[in-house]
Structure 1
């Protein structure tokens, strides 16, 4: 499927709320512009892993940092019912005619501070690529649960932070659980703040 054809198909399925059908579009290939819409293409098992973690750790929803067009976030919400907020910094780009269509309402962040991060929500970084910004978000986050999605050790793709070797800028976070995204070599890693672990 050509890139524009894929985008049009995704948009059509999005308007029909057919998230399962969207996930099936990339089962056999990732060289058709799919990465411009989703950096990871999870399956239902991955989505319900996220839901279980959020519920088990008593979070009320997810704040996704650097969410891009928000397709992953929309799919998580549709599949699990979890509230998902999406945050981006470059409003000029995302409101321009050149950007991908937006699948959720984007919240634009000019200054990273604790007021823009609900402590009752887990925060999610999917293929994030700015360690300094990541550490600023972590420093200002008062909640206890962080999801990091990205490549495993054998995967050639670049991201920062990586799921299994993030630099939180401190030592108060522990790996809680993880799951591979299908058999792609990408992983969903979950970290909890260890000084609050017993209170989660």
Structure 2
């Protein structure tokens, strides 16, 4: 009787640990791109620039990048720029957009929407490698959807903040390029 009870306790503890471990792994998946928000940009009838573009993204070395924020920023920027129709096709000498994440912080725990801060310094170079635009954009945002899983809300909060920052930059780019 005692050994059956101890086996049952062992199985229950193992299941709880397995469940906790799977939740931790889900939380480490990194931010996804908020495509549903990025497509909400104004689409230009014709491209502003008759050249292609390339994007370089980087992150401050003091920021833990286990969520691959720089890759999410790069993908979000690509989606928003393509949707906005700012650049035309590709070319031998494209414009270069450098996006450097300077600040990225977010509440590690929340029963709400995981408000976070994001600051990105954007620098645009023309085909001759001349700096033509430099803009630092700071945004604060959290998850716009509620999920039971805190990991999903955390990921969505990061993606929403990245999308907000990128959309602000593409709006600025349309006016100042």
After TM superposition, is the score higher than 0.5? no
Give the greater-gyration-radius structure (CA): 2
- What TM-score, normalized to structure 2? 0.32
- What TM-score, normalized to structure 1? 0.29
* Structure having greater relative contact order (Cα 8 Å, sep ≥ 6): 2
Q: Which has the higher helix share?
A: 2
